[in-house]
Chains A and B, each alone.
Chain A
Amino acid sequence: MQWEIVIGIETHAQLSTQSKIFSGSSTAYGAQPNTQANAVDLALPGVLPVLNKGAVERAIKLGLSVGAKINSPSIFARKNYFYPDLPKGYQISQFELPVVEGGHITIQVNDTEKSVRLTRAHLEEDAGKSLHEDFHGMSGIDLNRAGTPLLEIVTEPDMRSSAEAVAYAKKLHSLVRWIGICDGNMQEGSFRCDANVSVRAKGSDILGTRCEIKNLNSFRFLEKAIDFEARRQIEILEDGGTIRQETRLYDANKDETRTMRSKEDANDYRYFPDPDLLPLEISDNWINQLKDTLPELPEARRSRYISDFGLSDYDAAVLTGSREIADFFEETSAQLPNQAKLCANWVMGEISGRLNKEAIEITACPINPVHLAALLTRINDGTVSGKAAKTVFECMWNGELEQNVDAIIDAKGLKQISDDGAIEKLVDEVLAANAQQVEDYRNGKQKAFNSLVGQVMKATKGKANPAQVNTMLKNKLDS
């Protein structure tokens, strides 16, 4: 039987506010345990939550960026359960009326574009952390994270492969950073995904029983967990078994998912509207103000790169993968009118490659767009060859000669020889010394021509303009 994998994703994006969603404590990562937990976070008797406006603004921005409806009012609800790192015995979340409803995110996989529908996005607070080591058989509780603002973004079951799921997660990851609502730091848990996975016979329109895989904090784990889980479910079904609805955990070391809790053990969370918080009303005026603060969105930029700059779909998609990369590209190409493709190639090639290798963000790139544009200008006007430019790039990366492109070209003697007379002399010398290859070429062996070009280039130590050498050789041989 042919199987189809059906995936929906829930993402917890930590909102980039300075303070917590219902208290004034700092949200900074990495502080000593329990130093960022005040009376409200500790749920002392009598304390009350006060909603952080900044968290709401970020939720609205997400909603506006994905074409969703902003609900007014939306309602905060209590999700009741006992756990030591949940100080109040309930989590303040949103249940029946979330702040953001609907919307969609467009993904590209294998040159196909697909729209993933969003169900909703709601505001909630994070729990604290239980530490099970170093306490002599007891558990430690760190409430620094308790009350950190989260936006839970939920999709419809619209994805059909782990590749689509990863494409969605990457797109969302890029978007939340693009609009500045989440730092996207997956290692610190600022952006984590739960995947709902089910399988069904291809062609069926009935959803299979799903399993939820919790807390996937890298794209690679998301992909591997889904692949494993889909295989597991298919094997069970092919053996005539049935899938049990449950929550599962992905073990990266063993590359497998295993049961965390089954549906039968699931809590009855007894959601009800939190009487400590009034319904959240959002005025059109507020929405419009936030709309004005939104940057040009990735989709809009992508279209513009294709229509205005003539870039390919692929280039446009890669360059708009993050706002910083897109900005870098635009700042570079602003210095070089009509050379968008050259700029795109260098940003996506040398710059991105080097950043990856050094594992640094583009914001920390030692070469800024103005310097890069200066180098590309010298390629464009024929001063240096593409190959020599890479040497210049290397020098600039290392901060040599204050990254002055022309000074580096001079110092390293990388200037391309464009003087016709000088090149002609070398061409003549090469032709004279290689009678056999000249003969071969005239007998139709194209390979011989390439060899002759190579020898001229070698004689110029690579500094001749290859196009010029080509033309000159051809003229001489064919005359």
Chain B
Amino acid sequence: MFNASLKQLSIQLADKKVSSVELTKEYLQRIKTLNAEYNAFITVNEELSLAQAQLADQMIASGQAGTLTGIPIAQKDIFCAKDWLTTCGSKMLSNFVSPYDAGVIERFNQAGAVNIGKTNMDEFAMGSSNETSFYGPVRNPWDVAAVPGGSSGGSASAVAARLAPAATGTDTGGSIRQPAALCGISGIKPTYGLVSRYGMIAFASSLDQGGPMAKSAEDLALMLNVMTGFDARDSTSLQRDEEDYARDLEKPLLGLRIGLPKEYFAKGMSPDVERAVEQALNEYRQLGAETVEVSLPNSSLSIPVYYVLAPAEASSNLSRFDGVRYGYRAKSYGDLNDMYRKSRTQGFGAEVKRRILIGTYVLSHGYYDAYYIKAQKVRRLIAQDFADAFKQCDIMMGPTSPTVAFDIGEKSSDPIQMYLSDIYTSAASLAGLPGMSIPVGFGDKNRPVGLHIIGNYFTEAKMLNAAHQYQQATDWHQQAPGNIGI
């Protein structure tokens, strides 16, 4: 059951082989048993989950079920969910019970899905290893000494450890794709604007995008069908016709032109990752696709640009956490400024403070033009690189992360090394393009390797098609860590 696909679960629920309440209890029991080991969940609330499961069973009984009705879904703790503690991985929000549902949560609720718990994450989604969480590091189910990646590390770990059939994540510079790669699961960040940001706690508004994390491309498609859609409460949400992201899954790949950005295959990628990626590309060639070399000449600038723009937006987005209206407030303080200072000093962790400082600096009078404006200009060049390259190919592929999962503590004292973990993923984020990661084998220490797939705007169905066809021909995505008790 715990290895079942969403489609299989849906059929079992529809056929009354299992009820949503039973399924939910099974997963709650697994979480109870195993979460201490992986620390994938910050909050589990049996009462709320089971109440939703009962509703789902009623929907199924009355013939109103959709594909995800009754299926437990883990929600990244960045999404506000009514009556749920919503912490964003921070002490700052360690007492914040949301009075409202995020757009994404609403859509899952309407679909009859069950919120199985709120997953751990890097504090305010700032991190690539899930070590910055106030709730402690998340562990990689493939090797508990390793990080799961971040910032959606809790969701990745939960899916890999089969603590949830699927999960939501958010991706600002790679936060869905990199942990998916490091945990050996599939994850997709859709085109910017497809998933509502309403109620998704903002890190860098122009980059943040929610997306699903699951065991297969097919599951991702079913998740996307629920998650995407216009939301008038988000001014950057796109008004588009509804589409079925699963519609092209079965198309053959014959003639698919896969662009291989030469900059992504240059130095920086570790040999074990390169081996797995090359093997995957060979598989694609055998499936009838052709590969062409393309170039993204400004790609080396994507990390510096990202680390100007994302902190700039974050420094402003996080100003609302001031201890005045909700969230953490220092126990004792003098005047107003002292209250701000102490509450924010005590409420935020080191990485969040570092980014607030960087962001405040680059927006300051006298530096704004040299950093923020310059970075915006380069951002446009990076987007233009992709536009040019997509003239020669249908989709692009490369490594998701330069290395397999590193050890907990290995990079936490070296922010630059940590930031380079997103070297392949941040460019697509800056361009607003969809990107995904699928498991394509194992590297050093038998840790998973992810293949990065970048699509042109709104070509999620094509990317999922390419991923699904690969997953029909291989079984990397079906492999589960050995010690998760299944």
- The answer on a CB contact under 8 Å between B372 and A43 is no
CB proximity to B under 8 Å, residues A76-97: 78, 80, 82, 84, 87-90
Residues A40-81 near B (CB distance < 8 A): 42-51, 78, 80
Which of A39, A78, A271, A272 interacts with B99 by CB under 8 Å? Answer: A39
- Tell me, in angstroms, the Cα distance from A80 to B313 when the chains sit together: 11
Contact A82 B320 (CB under 8 A): no
Chain A contacts for B79, CB-based, 8 A: 46
Interface flag for B240 (CB, 8 Å): no
**B234 & A45 in contact (Cβ 8 Å cutoff):** no
Q: Is the interface of A mostly helix, strand, loop or mixed?
A: loop
How many A residues have CB within 8 A of the partner chain?
28
Contact of B102 among A46, A87, A277 (CB under 8 A): A46
Asked if A268 is an interface residue, CB under 8 A from chain B, the answer is yes
> Is there contact, CB below 8 Å, between B201 and A89?
no
A271 neighbours in B (Cβ, 8 Å): 363
Minimum CB distance partner of B90 in chain A: A45
A42 and B340 within 8 A (CB): no
B198: interface (CB < 8 Å): yes
Take A46-B102, A48-B198, A275-B206 as given contacts and tell me if A88 and B320 are in contact as well, using a CB distance cutoff of 8 Å: yes
A80 touches B316 (CB 8 A): yes
Name which of B112-120, B175-183, B321-329, B458-466 contacts chain A: B321-329
Query: Provided the pairs A88-B319, A89-B319 are in contact, do residues A45 and B96 lie with their beta carbons within 8 angstroms?
Result: yes
A270 in contact with B324 (CB, 8 Å): no
Inter-subunit contact B88/A45 (CB<8 Å)? yes
| A272 and B233 in contact, given A45-B86, A45-B93, A47-B198 (Cβ under 8 angstroms) | no
Task: Decide: B325 and A87 in contact? CB cutoff 8 A.
Answer: yes
In the assembled complex, B199 has its CB within 8 A of some CB on chain A: yes
The answer to the question of B360 belonging to the interface, with a C-beta cut-off of 8 Å to chain A, is: yes
B336 in the interface, Cβ–Cβ < 8 Å? yes
Task: Give A46 to B318 CA distance when docked, in angstroms.
Answer: 11
> Knowing A43-B325, A45-B88, A268-B365 touch, does A276 contact B316 (C-beta < 8 A)?
no
Task: Type the 1/0 row for A441-476, where 1 means its CB is closer than 8 Å to any CB of B.
Answer: 000000000000000000000000000000000000
Do A80 and B80 have beta carbons less than 8 Å apart?
no
Which of A42, A45, A78, A278 makes the CB contact (< 8 A) with B235?
A278
Alpha-carbon separation in the docked complex, A44 to B202 (Å): 11
Assess the A89–B325 pair: CB atoms within 8 A: no
Tell whether B205 is near chain A: CB-to-CB under 8 Å. Answer: yes
In the assembled complex, which residues on chain B have CB atoms less than 8 Å from the CB atom of A278? 235-236
Shortest B313–chain A CB gap in Å is 6
In whole angstroms, how far apart are the Cα atoms of A88 and B319 in the complex? 6
* Residues on B with beta carbons closer than 8 Å to the beta carbon of A167: none
CB-defined contacts of B200 to chain A, threshold 8 Å: 46
B237 CB, nearest partner CB in chain A, Å: 9
CB contact under 8 A between A276 and B100, given known A44-B326, A268-B365? no
Count of A-B contacts judged by CB separation below 8 Å: 97
A contact residues around B365 at 8 Å (CB): 268, 270
Quick check: is A141 within 8 A (CB to CB) of the other chain? yes
User: B86–A82 contact, CB under 8 A?
Assistant: no
CB within 8 Å of B: which A403-441 residues: none
Within the complex, what minimum Cβ distance (angstroms) separates B302 from chain A? 18
Q: Closest CB-CB distance, A85 to chain B, in whole Å?
A: 9
- Quick one: closest A residue to B376, CB to CB? A273
In-complex Cβ contact of B313 among A46, A50, A275 (8 A):
A275
Interface size class, chain B: 35 or more
Q: Is the CB of A80 within 8 A of B363?
A: yes
Interface assignment of B364: CB less than 8 Å from any CB of chain A:
yes
Q: Write out, one digit per residue, whether chain B residues 327-368 have a CB within 8 A of any chain A CB (1) or not (0).
A: 100000000100010000000000000000000100111001
- Judge whether B468 is part of the interface by a CB distance below 8 angstroms: no
Q: Which one of A47, A80, A141 lies within 8 Å of B319 (CB-CB)?
A: A80
Which of B197, B316, B325, B326 meets A78, CB within 8 Å? B316
Q: Which residues of A contact B201 (CB under 8 A)?
A: 45-46
From B236, B327, B368, contact of A272 by CB (8 A): B368
Quick one: CB contact mask for B184-215 with A, threshold 8 Å, 1 for yes?
00000000000001111110111000000000
Known: A272-B372, A275-B206. A89 touches B99 (CB 8 A): no
A106 to chain B minimum Cβ distance, whole angstroms, is 37
In the complex, which residues of chain B have a beta carbon less than 8 angstroms from the beta carbon of A46? 79-80, 98, 102, 197-202
Determine if B11 is an interface residue (Cβ-Cβ < 8 Å): no
User: In the complex, which residues of chain B have a beta carbon less than 8 angstroms from the beta carbon of A48?
Assistant: 197-198, 202, 233-235
Alpha-carbon distance A252/B60, docked complex (angstroms): 70
User: Cβ of A270 and Cβ of B364 under 8 Å apart?
Assistant: yes
Chain A residue nearest to B80 in the complex (CB)? A46
Q: A45-B86, A45-B201, A272-B363 are in contact. Are A50 and B99 (CB under 8 A)?
A: no
Report whether B320 and A277 are in contact in the complex, using a CB–CB cutoff of 8 Å: no
Interface check B312, CB cutoff 8 A: yes
Is residue B232 within 8 Å, beta carbon to beta carbon, of the partner chain? Answer: yes
- Asked if A82 and B236 sit within 8 Å, CB to CB, the answer is no
Asked if residues B320 and A89 are in contact (CB atoms below 8 Å), the reply is: yes
The smallest beta-carbon distance between B76 and chain A, in angstroms, is: 12
**Closest beta carbon of chain B to A242's beta carbon, Å:** 24
The interface of chain A, by Cβ under 8 A from chain B, is 39, 42-51, 78, 80, 82, 84, 87-90, 141, 268, 270-272, 275-278
The 8 closest A-B pairs by CB, nearest first: A89-B319, A275-B206, A270-B363, A275-B205, A46-B199, A43-B320, A45-B201, A46-B80
**Sample of 9 more A-B contacts, CB < 8 Å, known A49-B235, A275-B205:** A39-B100, A45-B86, A45-B320, A46-B199, A51-B235, A88-B320, A90-B319, A272-B316, A272-B363
The 16 listed contacts between A and B (C-beta, < 8 Å) are A44-B326, A45-B88, A46-B80, A48-B235, A49-B235, A51-B235, A80-B316, A80-B363, A82-B322, A87-B325, A89-B320, A90-B319, A268-B365, A272-B312, A275-B205, A277-B235
